[in-house]
Amino acid sequence: MSGGTGDSGLGTREAQRPLLVARMAEDDIPDATVFARPEFPVPSPAPIHIAGVDEAGRGPLAGPVCIAAVVFDSAQPRINGLDDSKRLCAARREFLYARIVDRALAWHVVFIDVEEIDRINIYHATLLGMRRALEAVVRLIGGAGTCVARIDGNALPRGLPCHAEAWIGGDARDRSIMAASILAKVSRDRLMIDLHQQHPQYGFDAHKGYASPAHLAALNEHGPCQHHRRSFAPVQRAENMNRELLSCT
């Protein structure tokens, strides 16, 4: 097992092929999106490592977006109970997290912080994190020659270190993507609980930064903190309202 978290598996059955031709997008140029063509030849008949990639936290108003990549070790026992992280309770996710990091051949978790999200937007920040997470696991398994990435969604970042496929609904179809979704979700939830200790007035431990009624009310009452995404409209509105109130006092 090897893995880690960044700045901030070979499955026993082949899942069905992707449903569409993927699209690729340039990380730092929002308007540069082109139809995907493989940047690497299809791997040779040598044993293929499947690297599942998924994210957690694209939609919240606060906190980083978290991306994980997982390569399973075919020599390890199969992990039972894997699923899309959104279908699992928190306790089950924590249990599976420990199993995944113990049995994976390689894993890596990346956080893209709020400053980067606001600079290049959440879509491109997510693609950037996917590339970084995949680069890390490819290094851990010793190179790209026998690795194929399966990325949840319908887009692929440019500059990936290995052949890659975009899988719509992959977190419900492929075990390596399911594992990546669990690592990303657990890692981000843990971080948001830590942020709650610093800023208890927002209730990050309960809603994890999503736009719940309680979070929106706290945002309007206290204004945003440094962990809020100012490129998101509700945060902008709360900041403007808070600024107007201060100017009137």
Average pLDDT over residues 202-217: 98
Averaged pLDDT, 54-75:
97
What distance in Å separates the CA atoms of residue 221 and residue 241, rounded to the nearest whole number? 9
Question: How far is the CA of 76 from the CAs of 15, 83, 110, 143, in angstroms?
Answer: 19, 18, 24, 21
pLDDT mean across residues, the chain: 86
Quickly tell me which residue has 């270190």 as its tokens: 161
pLDDT at position 1: 62
Per-residue model confidence (pLDDT) at position 243: 81
pLDDT in tens, 129-159: 999 999 999 999 988 788 999 999 999 999 9
Between 88-97, 145-154, 177-186, the lowest mean confidence (pLDDT) is in: 145-154
1-58 pLDDT, tens digit per residue, is 666 766 543 332 233 333 333 333 444 433 333 334 444 555 444 558 999 999 999 9
- Listed in order, the ranges of the chain carrying CATH 3.30.420.10 are 3-197
- Report pLDDT digits (tens) over 216-243: 999 999 999 999 999 999 999 999 988 8
Global pTM? 0.82
Average pLDDT over residues 114-141: 97
| pLDDT in the model for residue 247 | 66
What integer pLDDT is reported at residue 242 of this predicted model?
81
| Nearest Cα to Cα of residue 10 among 130, 105, 100 | 105
* CATH class of this structure's domain 3-197: alpha beta
Share of the chain above pLDDT 90, in %: 74
- Of 228, 220, 225, 227, the closest CA to residue 245 belongs to 220
